[in-house]
């Protein structure tokens, strides 16, 4: 599940997706998004239209966690999801 959470977190960080993209098109992504919300790493963006669309944003804790992730498994263009087992998620939801 850590890989799905990291993939969803990477998409939140990049922006450009609607809430439907996160919540409805793929059950694994929807579950990962709910877990990131529960961990306090992301927040839903309400009433702030943007182009491209942005349904979620990183919280301050999410920004710090993203920095930790990119320091450990970052690549020039994102993160190496094959190395997701190296990431320790904050307490609250098992990996």
- What residue ranges define each of the domains in the chain, with the CATH number in brackets? 2-83 (1.10.10)
* Tens digit of each residue's pLDDT, the chain (95 residues): 589 999 999 999 998 888 888 887 788 999 999 999 999 999 998 766 666 677 899 999 999 999 999 999 999 888 999 999 999 888 765 44
Contact between residue 5 and residue 16 where contact means Cβ atoms under 8 Å apart: no
| Helix or strand run (H / E) with residue 66 | helix 60-73
- For the whole model, what pTM was predicted? 0.85
| Helix or strand run (H / E) with residue 42 | strand 42-44
- Give CA separation, 70 vs 51, 59, 63, 85, in Å: 25, 16, 11, 14
């Amino acid at each position: 599940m850590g890989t799905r959470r990291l993939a969803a977190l990477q998409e939140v960080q990049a922006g450009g997706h609607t809430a439907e993209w996160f919540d409805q098109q793929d059950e694994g992504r929807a579950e990962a998004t709910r877990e990131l919300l529960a961990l306090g790493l992301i927040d839903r963006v309400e009433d702030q239209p943007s182009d491209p669309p942005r349904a979620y944003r990183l919280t301050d804790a999410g920004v710090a966690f993203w920095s930790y992730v990119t320091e450990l498994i970052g690549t020039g263009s994102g993160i190496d999801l094959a190395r997701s087992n190296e990431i320790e998620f904050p307490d609250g939801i098992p990996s």
